[in-house]
Every structure is written in C-alpha cells, then in structure tokens.
Amino acid sequence: MNALGRHLLLELKDCNLEVLNDLDFLKGCLHDAAKKIGATVVNECFHEFSPHGISGVVVISESHLCIHTWPEYGYAAIDIFTCGDSTKPELAVKPLVEKLGSKNSSFIELKRGILQGSRVGCEIK
C-alpha cells in the first residue's frame, strides 16, 4: 500500500425514505458493514435530528464508518475510512446500497496519508 488509509465516499440517492430515519436500522447497517469489511468495532455515536435525519459514526480500530441522512431528499452520505491492509472497505458498498434501497448510487475512493514524496492536490501554506 502506498497510503496509510483508504477513504470511500458513497453518494446514495433515491433511497428508501423510511429506512433513512430508522435509527436502529442504520446502526445495524453500519455494524454489519464493519463486520463485512473485517473491521473491529470499538465505539459508536448516533444522533436523531428533528423532524428527521440521522447522523452517526461507528468507530473501528482501523478508523471509522459514518452516515448522514436526509430523508426529505431520499439521500444518504456514507464514509468508510480504513487504515492498514487488514480490511476490505469495498466489500461494504453493495450491501449498503441494497439495504438503503438506493436507486442511484456512486462512490469514489481516496488514498489518505500518501507519505512517499507523492503530492496529490494542493499544498496548504
């Protein structure tokens, strides 16, 4: 690996509106995703917004999985950030898309912590 970590950013549109506001369901989805990728869960924190929407993070030994939902738009943003070579974050993508019922999904992967003299993006001064 030429990076310390992998960061998958999932864009899930046209999701099942009911599940986007179901706290227990979303917790289960992130915990299942952590298990699927081979990660070790160490903590979690979730918040329900009023009148709707949920944000949550499952902290794993290898980094984190998080979700933010906008049921009024049928949209969910999910991040899966893993460090090291012991996990396979890409294995969580299809199950999460299916569980949230997204009819229009995409994801990108960013390499994080590229330390071998490679420069990606802009330098902050």
122 located within any domain: no
DSSP class of residue 124 equals P
Q: Is 66 a catalytic residue?
A: no
What is the Cα–Cα distance from 26 to 71, expressed in whole angstroms? 12
Residue 93 sits in a domain of what CATH number? 3.60.90.10
What is the Cα–Cα distance from 17 to 113, expressed in whole angstroms? 36
The single residue of 29, 64, 83, 105 carrying the catalytic annotation is 83
What pLDDT shows up at residue 119? 53
What mean pLDDT comes out for the span 58-69? 97
Dihedral angle at the C-alpha atoms of 18, 31, 7, 115, nearest 10 degrees? 160
Average predicted confidence (pLDDT) for the chain: 92
The single residue of 63, 64, 102, 105 carrying the catalytic annotation is 63
Residue pLDDT, tens place only, 80-125: 999 988 999 999 999 999 999 999 999 999 999 987 665 555 445 5
69 located within any domain: yes
DSSP class of residue 87 equals -
What is the Cα–Cα distance from 95 to 100, expressed in whole angstroms? 9
Domain count, the chain: 1
Per the structure, the complete domain to which residue 104 belongs is given by: 7-110
What is the Cα–Cα distance from 19 to 71, expressed in whole angstroms? 8
pTM of the full structure: 0.89
17 located within any domain: yes
What pLDDT shows up at residue 2? 80
Q: Is 68 a catalytic residue?
A: yes
The single residue of 31, 55, 61, 68 carrying the catalytic annotation is 68
Q: Of the candidates 99, 37, 106, which has an alpha carbon nearest to the alpha carbon of residue 77? A: 106
Structure tokens at 87: 């996990």
Q: Is 63 a catalytic residue?
A: yes
49 located within any domain: yes
106 strand-pairing partners: 11
Residue pLDDT, tens place only, 8-23: 999 999 999 999 999 9
